[in-house]
Structures are given as C-alpha cells and as structure tokens.
Amino acid sequence: MITNNKQLDPIWQKRYKIAKIFVYVFFVLCLLFAAYLVLFPSANFVFSFKNPDSSKNTVVEPRSGKGELIRSGKVEEGKKLIFDTNPLGDFSEVEIDFTLDGKSSGIENGEISIRRSYRSFFYPEGEKINAPENTDLPRLLSTNDSVFIASQGKIWPVADAITFSSMGWNWDDVIPSNSEETGKYEKQKLFTIKNPHPDGTIFSDKENGKYYLIENGGKREIENIENFLPYLKTTPVIAEEKGLRIKNHCKLQSAFSFSKRYKCTIPIQEMRSLIGNDFQFEANFGNDVKITRISATFKKSFNLENLKSSISILKSRTAANYGQAQ
C-alpha cells in the first residue's frame, strides 16, 4: 500500500521545528515593526535648490522675510529664510538639516525657530476692515463624491477628507451642488494640505475673540463681524493668536568636522495642543551661505502618551473618511 505519510529523521525533525520557530518569530517581529511605524511615525520633508521645480520637493516655498521666493539657495548675512511643512499627526521633535554648496562658507551663529498655526493665519496683519468689499466669500460645495472650496470666482477640488479636516472646515457647511453650479467658477489645481486658505476666508481667534479676513497675502482684522454675517456661507475657521507667539528654537551645529551639513533638533511636544496644520520655520545666519538642500524630519518618541495620541489620530482620520463617504 502506497502512503504519503513519511517520518523525518530525528535530526531533520529537530531542524524543522527550529526553522518553524524562527519563521513565527520573524513574522511576529515584522508585525511589531509595522505597528511601530504606524503608531510612532516619522515624516520627512525636503527641498533641493539644485532642482527647485521638482515635484519631489515637499518643503513649501523657501522665501525671504519679505516673501520673495529663494530659488538659488543663497541667503545673505542677517536675512531670514522662511519655509513651511505640513506633517499629519502629532510629533515630539523635528530635526532640521541644511546641506551647503561645496564653495559656501560654513554656517556661523545659525539659529532656527518654529511655530504652529495655519499658513494663511501667519500672514502679516494689514489695515482693519469694517464691511466686506467682495461679498463672494468661500463656499463648500459637493458633487457626487467630490468636495470643492469656491471663493471669489475660483474653485478648487479638495484632495481628500484629511485635507478638508486639516483646514479646519466644517462638514455641516458642505452644500450639495451640481456641475452647472461649479462650472460658474474658474477651475484651479487640486487643493492639498500645502495650500493656504483662499481669499475671503474668515478666521475666528478663540483666544481674543477677534475675526480676521484673508486677502491678498495678508489678514485684516474685522471691526464689525455683524456686517459680514449676511454673506457668510461657512463657519469661520478657528485659530488662536498664541500659535503666532509661541516659538521653539535650536542652534545649528556642524554634523561632523569639516562637514557641509548643519543640523539641530527642536522639541515640539508641547505644540501639539496648538491649532493649525502648518509648521513655519525661520532660519537666521550670521554670515552669507549657499544652501543646496533642506531636510526637516518630524519624529514621535516611543512612550505611552504618544501611543494614546497615535490611536486617537487613527480614530479621527477613520471618522473623517467615513464622514466624507456619508
């Protein structure tokens, strides 16, 4: 009688059991590592001045203190270098890394500060305004499974539910629409988390009770919000002045002797309670430098508090996507 049941030699039985244990251990370790990456993530943002137009650049608009874009990487002594990043989630620290051109002098007395709010709430404050000069204030429209932000003759398709929630918008403000209605607006590129709020957006500062209108790269305090109420189609976006005021700092140091890389780490754990999706960096140098690359890496420390925070974020993102699906 032919049978497929065969007994392994004792030595091969032992080897098989050991190999089986190693496979199980490896599988468990892979699961634990995957869980660690999800619950304690990092986020890296870069900008190459050698390729300033590259789609791989994720640092937003390196610019001078006057708002002029810096494309060559040259920063003069005493001048500011400002740039933004938009990491999703709560992080404990961020490591900043500048790589200099081979012919550039090393960085002297380099310092970086960081603050958190919305990118458009960082805009400089201009003259106060009493009544709307343009009554076409932002509207949130939906057609099929897409959501749009429309304002002052322009319309942007919103990238996803996470972008929507990160901008501080309210799902209850979304109005069902159709292609005929959205077709009245000038179509713009996809609205992502990198975008500032469009002109016409109104911020409500929960700290001091003031209201601000976003307009032409600036924000204007509204003297009488009652004059705007008849034209409001969305709930004002909640912000807070302390996000502009609170800054953390670090001093740039050479990565190692004779290196053209300078880096430092800024703790941002306490910034997690601040409102806003934008971290704005301001770098100051004590001499002329030429930068070829910026890197900003956000990290989350391994501890119980951050574990609870990560679980909470995962729940809120799931809820945001579910809310959009509804």
pLDDT at 137: 95
Across residues 97-103, what is the average pLDDT? Answer: 95
pLDDT at 24: 83
pLDDT at 228: 96
pLDDT at 9: 75
pLDDT digits (tens, 9 = 90+) for 269-289: 889 889 999 999 999 999 999
Q: 295: closest CA among 22, 95, 159?
A: 95
Paired tokens of 316 = 């809120």
pLDDT at 197: 97
Average pLDDT over all residues of the chain: 89
Paired tokens of 72 = 């060559």
Sign of CA dihedral 24, 299, 117, 279: negative
The distance of Cα 99 from the centroid of its chain, to the nearest Å, equals 22
pLDDT at 325: 46
Global pTM reads 0.82
Paired tokens of 17 = 């059991």
pLDDT at 51: 96
List the chain domain ranges. Answer: 43-138+197-301
pLDDT digits (tens, 9 = 90+) for 218-267: 999 999 999 999 999 999 999 999 999 999 999 999 988 778 999 999 99
pLDDT digits (tens, 9 = 90+) for 123-167: 999 999 999 999 999 999 999 889 999 999 999 999 999 999 999
- Of the two residues 242 and 39, the one the predictor is more confident about is 242
pLDDT at 3: 52
Task: Please tell me the distance from the alpha carbon of residue 117 to that of residue 98, in angstroms, as a whole number.
Answer: 24
Kindly give, in sequence order, each residue whose CB lies less than 8 Å from that of residue 273, ignoring residues fewer than 6 positions away. none
pLDDT at 1: 46
Q: Report the percentage of the chain scoring pLDDT > 90.
A: 72
- The phi and psi torsions of 197 (rounded to 5 degrees) equal -60, 145
Q: Residue 129 carries which side chain, given as an amino acid letter?
A: I
pLDDT category of residue 313 using cuts at 50, 70 and 90: low
pLDDT at 38: 63
pLDDT at 8: 64
pLDDT at 10: 78
Across residues 33-54, what is the average pLDDT? Answer: 81
β-strand 154-157 against 146-151: which pairing, if any? antiparallel
pLDDT at 314: 65
pLDDT digits (tens, 9 = 90+) for 173-227: 999 999 888 999 999 999 999 999 999 999 999 989 999 999 999 999 999 999 9
